[in-house]
């Protein structure tokens, strides 16, 4: 029998009625002859609610205890989901991350999956049960509960599909697939029938939260066929595929935005070798991911060094930098929490020049100031003031993708 891994996100299991509806959908697939491993997220809003509770106690909550707390959201939904299946007469069994044994490293809040033991899942499938696995969580080698990072249930699902050699991994969500930009903020956004793994990695890493970035990296590395589609309809969604020649025609396949970053600037750092290492070493030791970095040397022998980190990490990053600043004789630290990163992504950029120039021109015409720029082979990102995000996304979508035609 073909094995399918299906993942249902928070909005798909937001209420008891929706859980019942999804359980019927899953039973339908089982009756159609598939073996099923279903990964569920916490009910919509639950992870945020739990996080807010932790912050009522502590400004920077202990990472280990925070993971114990956040993982409880998915514990509730696997139990309810499995109950709903049993109620329909469909045998089922729920598993938490440590019960399957989804083994991760010990980087709380952003743990990486190292190994998945398939023994219990295969036994359960053999017994005719639908296996329901808690997304977003794992266990480290010392039995600590870990979480994979926000949106991490996608990664749980793709990793399970890879380790179990599933026929496909279906990501069920509240939109019909991957669109040219977030359909929530741009009415002209169009569904893509397929998208290359590399483009999806760039879109995910620049804020298109329809898929979590590590899930796409996993899918690419293990060649997992991933199908992103809607929980609430049966229409074909978007397939992640290997890049092929036909894709070169498309210059830009997507526009993304991310309001989840904060800009930190170290002012007038002495311009000498080793200082960047002194600044970023302790940040890396704290497992904080730095995204963009720019350095502007001035004539007086000092430089301003600006970088961005995620909002979730910025208080820890700031407290580290505030310790480093006096030690390296920097003149101060500035923080800007009101920024957004807007990006255009497309494999066509490999062979076409001028995309960056056009992007800057389109933003200039709207009077949007660009504060930082970064590029990769198939992506250009700019940091702008957060208040211009929607405007920038719409004008860039209009300029590069337009309103008409098929993608």
Site for ligand ASP in 40-99 (CB under 6 A): 41-42, 47, 73
User: Contacting ligand ASP (CB under 6 A), which of 61, 109, 135, 177?
Assistant: 135
Q: Is the dihedral of CA 56, 57, 62, 67 positive or negative?
A: negative
| DSSP string covering 208-231 | -TTS-HHHHHHHHHTT--EEEEET
With CB under 6 A as the contact rule, the residue among 178, 262, 382, 393 that binds ligand ADP is: 178
Contact of 374 with 343, CB cutoff 8 Å: no
Query: In this complex, which beta carbon is closest to ligand ASP, that of residue 253 or of residue 260?
Result: 260
**Binding test (CB under 6 A) with ligand ASP, winner from 6, 90, 94, 153:** 153
State which of residues 151, 177, 254, 346 lies at the interface with Mg ion (CB under 5 A): 151
Q: 336-365: which residues touch ligand ASP (CB under 6 A)?
A: none
Nearer to ligand ASP, 75 or 376 (CB): 75
- Residue 302: CB partners within 8 Å, gap ≥ 6? 268, 269, 270, 271, 331
Which 6-65 positions form the footprint of Mg ion (CB under 5 A)? 9
Is 97 or 151 the residue whose CB approaches ligand ADP more closely? 151
Q: Ramachandran region of residue 234, left (φ > 0), alpha (ψ -120 to 50) or beta?
A: alpha
Among 34, 81, 95, 136, binds ligand ASP (CB under 6 A): 136
Closest C-alpha to 139, from 84, 110, 99: 99
Contacting residue, 3, 4, 10, 309, with ligand ASP by CB under 6 A: 10
- B/e letters for 218-254, b = 16+ CB within 10 Å, e = fewer, are bbbeeebebbbbbbbeeeebbbbeeeeeebeebbbbb
Q: What is the distance between the alpha carbons of residues 331 and 23, in angstroms, rounded to a whole number?
A: 59
Stretch of residues binding ligand ADP (CB under 6 A), selected from 9-17, 82-90, 99-107, 306-314: 9-17
Cβ 26 vs Cβ 4: under 8 Å = no
The site partner of 150 among ligand ASP, ligand ADP, Mg ion, none (C-beta below 5 to 8 Å per kind) is ligand ASP
Binding mask 202-231 for ligand ADP (x = CB under 6 A): ------xxx---------------------
Q: Cβ of residue 74: shortest distance to ligand ASP, in angstroms?
A: 6
- Tell which one of 61, 97, 138, 152 touches ligand ASP (CB under 6 A): 152
Interaction partner, residue 47 (ligand ADP, ligand ASP, Mg ion, none; CB < 5-8 Å by kind): ligand ASP
Distance of CA 303 to the CA centre of its chain: 33
Return d(Cα 131, Cα 145) in angstroms, integer.
Answer: 20
Closest distance to ligand ADP from the beta carbon of 386 (Å): 16
List the helix and strand counts (H, then E) for the chain.
12, 20
CB of 116 to ligand ADP, least distance (A): 20
Supply φ then ψ for residue 211, to 5 degrees: -135, 140
Contacted entry of ligand ADP, Mg ion, ligand ASP, none for residue 97, CB cut-off 5 to 8 Å set by kind:
none
3-class SS of residue 179? strand
Taking CB within 5 to 8 Å according to partner kind, which of ligand ASP, ligand ADP, Mg ion, none is near residue 138? Answer: none
Q: Does 196 contact ligand ASP by CB under 6 A?
A: no
Q: In what order do the strands lie in the sheet with 137-139?
A: 113-116, 102-104, 137-139, 145-147
* Minimum CB–partner distance for residue 209 and ligand ADP (Å): 5
Nearer to ligand ASP, 140 or 154 (CB): 154
Per CB under 6 A, 146 contacts ligand ADP:
no
Using the CB atoms, write b or e for 148-173: b if 16+ within 10 Å.
bbbbbbbbbbbbbbbbbebbbbbbbb
Stretch of 150-158, 170-178, 191-199, 302-310 contacting ligand ASP, by CB under 6 A: 150-158
Whole-angstrom CA distances from 120 to 152, 165, 259, 276, 277 are 22, 15, 40, 48, 46
In the complex, the residues that contact Mg ion under the rule CB under 5 A are 9, 151
- The residue ranges that bind ligand ADP (CB under 6 A) are 9-12, 41, 151, 173-175, 178-179, 181-184, 208-210, 254
Residues that bind ligand ASP (CB under 6 A): 9-10, 41-42, 47, 73, 135-136, 150-154
């Amino acid at each position: 029998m073909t094995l399918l891994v299906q993942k249902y996100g928070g909005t798909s299991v937001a209420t008891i009625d929706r859980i019942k509806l999804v359980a019927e959908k899953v039973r339908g697939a089982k009756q159609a002859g598939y073996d099923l491993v279903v990964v569920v997220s916490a009910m919509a809003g639950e992870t945020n609610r739990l996080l807010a509770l932790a912050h009522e106690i502590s400004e920077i909550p202990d990472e280990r205890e925070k993971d114990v707390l956040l993982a409880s959201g998915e514990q509730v939904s696997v139990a309810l989901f499995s109950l709903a299946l049993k109620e329909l007469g469909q045998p089922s069994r729920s598993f938490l991350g440590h019960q399957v044994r989804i083994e991760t490293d010990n980087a709380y809040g952003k743990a990486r999956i190292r190994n998945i033991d398939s023994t219990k899942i295969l036994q359960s499938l053999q017994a005719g049960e639908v296996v329901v696995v808690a997304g977003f969580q794992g266990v480290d080698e010392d039995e600590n509960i870990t979480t994979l990072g926000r949106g991490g249930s996608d990664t749980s699902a793709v990793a399970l599909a890879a380790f179990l050699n599933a026929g496909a991994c279906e990501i069920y969500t509240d939109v019909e697939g991957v669109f040219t930009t977030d359909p929530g903020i741009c009415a002209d956004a169009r569904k893509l029938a397929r998208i290359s793994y590399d483009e999806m990695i760039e879109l995910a890493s620049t804020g298109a939260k329809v898929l979590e970035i590590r899930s796409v990296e996993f899918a690419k590395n293990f060649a997992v066929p991933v199908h992103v589609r809607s929980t609430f309809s049966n229409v074909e969604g978007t397939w992640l595929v290997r890049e092929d020649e036909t894709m070169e025609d498309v210059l830009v396949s997507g526009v993304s935005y991310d309001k989840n970053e904060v800009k930190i600037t170290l002012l007038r750092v002495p311009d000498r070798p080793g200082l960047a290492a002194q600044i970023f070493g302790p940040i890396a030791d704290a497992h904080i991911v730095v995204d963009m970095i720019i350095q502007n040397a001035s004539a007086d022998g000092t430089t301003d060094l600006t970088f961005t980190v995620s909002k979730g990490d910025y208080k820890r990053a700031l407290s580290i930098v505030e310790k480093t600043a006096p030690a390296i004789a920097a003149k101060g630290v500035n923080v800007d929490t009101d920024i957004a990163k807007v990006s255009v992504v497309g494999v066509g950029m490999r062979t076409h020049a001028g995309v960056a120039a056009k992007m800057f021109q389109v933003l200039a015409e709207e009077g949007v100031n660009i504060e930082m720029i970064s590029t990769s082979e198939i992506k250009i990102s700019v940091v702008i003031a957060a208040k211009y995000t929607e405007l920038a996304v719409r004008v860039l979508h209009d300029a590069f993708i337009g309103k008409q035609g098929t993608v």
